Amino acid sequence: MTDIQTTNDTSETVDTLPRYINRERSLLEFNRRVLAQANNPDIPLLERVKYLCISSSNMDEFFEVRLASLLELAEDPHAITQPDGQPARTVIECLSKATHEIVEEQYHTLNNILIPALKNENIRFVRRNHWTEQHKEWISKFFIEELQPVLSAVGLDPSHPFPKVLNKTLNFIVSLEGKDAFGRLNGLAIVPVPRSLPRLIKLPPEATDGENDFVFLSSVLHANVSRLFPGMTVTGCYQFRVTRNTNLFIDEEEVDDLMSALRGELSGRQYGGAIRLEVADNCPQHMMDYLLDRFKLEPDALYKVNGPVNLHRLDAVSDMANRPDLLFKPYTQKSFAVKKRPSKNAFKIFTRHKEPDKLFDKIKQKDILLHHPYDSFSPVIEFLKQASKDPDVLAIRMTLYRTGENSEIIKALEKAAQNGKEVTAVVELRARFDEDNNIIQATRLQDAGVHVVYGVVGYKTHAKMILVVRREADRIRYYTHMGTGNYHHITTRFYSDFGLFTANPEIGRDALKIFQQLTSLGDTKNLDVLLQSPFTLQSGMIERIEREAEHARQGKPSRIIAKMNGLEEKGIIDALYKASQAGVKIDLIVRGICSLRPGIPGLSENITVTSIIGRFLEHHRIYYFENDGAKPELFCSSADWMRRNLMARVETCFPILDEACFQQVYTEGLAMYLQDNTGAWILQPDGSYLAKQTNNEQPYSAQNLLIEKYSN
């Protein structure tokens, strides 16, 4: 794909490549890597279908959030994107070509690769032109009994204007001939399809000869749509879907009650400005033009699709087909275990012991590290449950960004408040797409007597912290949990994250200061061991990068290894460039967005960037600095090296001080991933990615080896 040109000074590079990769372009490259998994024959077939669905969901969010934000930015003719400094309109035009390419590749993957492969496994999507009389009879009955009662066709005339079309919902535009019951001539109608209806229907044994035969809801409606317009002739029926801007617009400085203001905005999210129009590729041009006009969209916002307009809903086939042999082998998370000091064999450092009655006793003995999803999340829940009942616990403070529904975390905090503990929850109401649930959970906690605050105006609270204050004999002791991922019992099964339990008093005191910042108006920025955005995290990282550069200039040992979801902050990137020029070897493991351009002589030839795409979503944030080899530093964090994380959020970055935990994070979070040659993609200087070449080496998958390790 042709790169976006830049106005930046390129004198530091040998060629004419821009100094920074455009953020949105990099995000699309990530989705190409996800889509590539759907084409990977080494992955179980139904898992490949899931990857296709994930790529579809990712594209939806790209349009809803990223492209929507760019279109807003483009309203200012002088606005430029960061960090690459391009005019927003130029970026939008370049991205349009890439998005159309990706969508075309998605449907090629579905129609030419996955559907034939599924057919070979006797999982069939039966198209209308292959329906037998047996199929037709059952489908007709199903439509009459299950679909027709909940479908509301809207004829378009002066008394029936074009309906409001909800974001990402399935709809059909129908062309008609003839008169309705009142003698009106209606040429067009819209049929909205409720979200409650399944997009994929499994045919029962009486309807087909196959064990796993499916029909698309769109095919069922196409075949029976005339039943919605008795006495008229349907001359055409075409599916379409519109993607809308889902960004929320709240001036936090002007509202008195953030929760009430957010509730008001959420009600209108489904009707934001249109961004993209997907239409069946056999729809006549005049009808496509009509829809573009209704949604006030330009022609480049039109995407013609050969298949269901929402590929994400095909995810249901993995459950409906009941073919576990075509899925990843189930993995059971490891129950809580005490870790021994690391041995020379890094794959045999774990053993099980009888647990003390209280987690507090264990944590007081030594720091404990959990590695999700390989370790169970249950110790975190148990930690809160024990704290809620322990008579020696005085207070519990916690940040909540995403928790999920029916969360045991919420129940434990409610119980603690009911038991008379001082409980404070910092709930981030603006966690994208979780706003509704977070409002519900915040209300529940308030009703139980928990002190609920919503963080700081203008700064999302993204830190992951629990602080338990406990009286032990004649002293107060702090027990802290800090993590790289959310307190969400579902995502901890699929996201790779580290969580640290510690009774380290410095970490506990720092955590207390941060909670005081969030709940009061005091100025408590002087932390002893933690780094925190928006105050010290960016500068603390740059200071350590510059220290490595100075060590390299002096001929001392220097090395930087960093793992994160995204890298886009210009100050960090520039510091890494300078460290590379000083001779520091820098290995970056960046799953998604990366605006740093590696491998350019004179700028970044000592930097490699690897992206790992695997069974689990890589979510660690880990930062390692060699520090002359005398005292290496290792941090875990809730923050990526993104501008939003470092400048516009409350984030924490915590040191790994215990020797065993240090070795575990370094080995399992960094070293193993640098050896990966099955899910690794290498960022090229031009911004594209190439799958890592094995060079006849044995396959090495960090995730598979960790599954094996934790299963023993």
| Catalytic positions | 462
Tally of CB atoms within 10 A around 644? 16
Return the closest-CA partner of residue 191 out of 166, 216, 142, 228. 228
Q: What is the b/e burial string over 645-675, where b = at least 16 CB atoms within 10 angstroms of the residue's CB? A: bbeebbbbbbbbbbebbbbbbbbbbbbbbee
Does 438 show up as a binding residue in the annotation? Answer: no
Does 475 show up as a binding residue in the annotation? Answer: no
Does 495 show up as a binding residue in the annotation? Answer: yes
Q: What is the largest CA-CA distance in the chain?
A: 90
Does 25 show up as a binding residue in the annotation? Answer: no
Spatial distance between the Cα atoms of 114 and 125, rounded to a whole number of angstroms:
11
The residues near 666 (Cβ < 8 Å, ≥ 6 apart) are 624, 634
Q: Which helix (H) or strand (E) holds 216?
A: strand 212-216
- Pairing of β 171-177 and β 233-244: antiparallel
Does 374 show up as a binding residue in the annotation? Answer: no
Q: Find tokens 């220290």 and name the residue.
A: 547
Q: Which helix (H) or strand (E) holds 571?
A: helix 570-582
Spatial distance between the Cα atoms of 507 and 468, rounded to a whole number of angstroms:
12
Spatial distance between the Cα atoms of 50 and 57, rounded to a whole number of angstroms:
10
409: Cα separation from own chain's centroid: 21
Peptide bond before residue 373 is cis, with ω within 30 degrees of 0: yes
The residues near 201 (Cβ < 8 Å, ≥ 6 apart) are 142, 214, 215, 216, 217, 220
Q: DSSP string of 89-138?
A: HHHHHHHHHHHHHHHHHHHHIIIIIIHHHHHHTTEEE--GGG--HHHHHH
Identify any residues that bridge with 470 across adjacent strands, giving them in sequence order. Answer: 393, 477
Q: Is 394 exposed, middle or buried (0-12, 13-18, 19+ CB in 10 A)?
A: middle
Tokens of 9: 């000074």
Residue type, 206: E
**What are phi and psi for residue 185, nearest 5 degrees?**
-95, 110
Tally of CB atoms within 10 A around 145? 9
Return the closest-CA partner of residue 447 out of 501, 411, 490, 478. 411
| SS (HEC) of 222-271 | HHHHHHHCCCCEEEEEEEEEEEECCCCCCCCCCCCCHHHHHHHHHCCHHH
Contact 458, 425 (CB under 8 A): no
Does 591 show up as a binding residue in the annotation? Answer: yes
Residue 509, CB-side half-sphere exposure with 13 Å CA sphere: 9
Return the closest-CA partner of residue 263 out of 119, 439, 25. 439
Tally of CB atoms within 10 A around 705? 16
Spatial distance between the Cα atoms of 13 and 15, rounded to a whole number of angstroms:
6
Return binding residues for ATP.
Answer: 58, 495, 591, 619
Return binding residues for Mg(2+).
Answer: 402, 432
Return binding residues.
Answer: 58, 402, 432, 495, 591, 619
